Chains A and B, each alone.
Chain A
Amino acid sequence: DVKVTQSSRYLVKRTGEKVFLECVQDMDHENMFWYRQDPGLGLRLIYFSYDVKMKEKGDIPEGYSVSREKKERFSLILESASTNQTSMYLCASSAPGTGGDEQYFGPGTRLTVT
C-alpha cells in the first residue's frame, strides 16, 4: 500500500512566523503535490513537483514556496504566515503511467494561524 505521511496533524502558528510542512511518501513516486482545502472551495493546487529539485506552480502559489531535495520528500514553506493561510493542507503523490495517474493522499495538516 502507498503510504503518504505528513509531519503534523495539527499546527498553530502566529502571524509572521515561517512555517514548514513536510510530506514523505514511501512508494518511489515521481510526482508530489501540495493542496489546500477550504469549505466551499474544494481542493486547490498550490505547487507540484514531477522530479527531484523540479517544481511547478499550481493555481494558488502566492505566499508559498516548496522544496524537493529527495525523491520521497516534498516540503511546503509559508515564508510569513498570515491568517488567510489557515486551512487544511494535503500532500499527495502519484506515479506517471500508461493510464491515469491516481494520487494518494496523506492525512492532512490542519494549520491555524493566529
Chain B
Amino acid sequence: EDQVTQSPEALRLQEGESSSLNCSYTVSGLRGLFWYRQDPGKGPEFLFTLYSAGEEKEKERLKATLTKKESFLHITAPKPEDSATYLCAVQEDSNYQLIWGAGTKLIIKP
C-alpha cells in the first residue's frame, strides 16, 4: 500500500538549534515529493518539489533532500517564526492525487 510517514509528530527546539524532519514514502513510481508549511488556521503553503534521488533545494533556513525512500527537511539555526506544521506529500506517476503525511509540528522557542 502506498503511504507517507512523517516523523517526529512534534519537535521542540530552541532558537538556533538545527535539526531535521523526516518523510519516508512507499510508492511504486515517484513523480514528485512536495514539502508544505502550514500555519494554524491557514491553508498549506507550498515550499519545495523534489523529483529524483540526490536532489536538494534550499529556501532561507530550509533545505530539502531526497533519497529513494525518504526526504529530509533540514532547518538550520531556526527562528520562532519557523514554528509551523510541515507537511510532506508524494505524487505517483500518472496520478493527479497526492498522498499526504500527517505532518510534523515544529515549535521554536526563543
Contacts and interface: CB of A to CB of B under 8 A. Distances in A.
Contacts, number: 59
Interface string B27-41: 000011110100001
Contacts of A105: 36, 43-46
Contacts of A4: 43
Nearest to B34: A102
B91 interface: yes
B42 A107 contact: yes
Given A31-B96, A100-B33, A108 B41 contact: yes
Given A43-B87, A100-B33, A48 B97 contact: yes
A101 B80 CA distance: 30
A100 B46 contact: no
A45 interface: yes
Given A42-B103, A108-B42, A100 B97 contact: no
Looking at chain A, what size class is its interface with the partner chain? 20 to 34
A57 B17 CA distance: 43
Given A100-B49, A102-B46, A110 B98 contact: no
Question: Chain B contact residues: over half helix, strand or loop, or mixed?
Answer: strand
Contacts of B44: 43, 90, 105
Nearest to A41: B102
Contacts of A102: 32, 34, 46, 49
Given A90-B43, A104-B46, A106-B43, A99 B101 contact: no
A96 B43 CA distance: 21
Interface in B4-54: 31-34, 36, 41-46, 49, 51
Given A88-B41, A90-B43, A105-B45, 20 more contacts: A31-B96, A42-B102, A43-B100, A50-B96, A56-B96, A58-B97, A99-B51, A100-B31, A100-B33, A100-B51, A102-B46, A103-B34, A103-B46, A103-B89, A103-B98, A105-B43, A105-B44, A107-B43, A108-B43, A110-B41
Interface of A: 4, 31, 40, 42-43, 45, 48, 50, 56, 58, 88, 90, 92, 94, 96, 99-108, 110
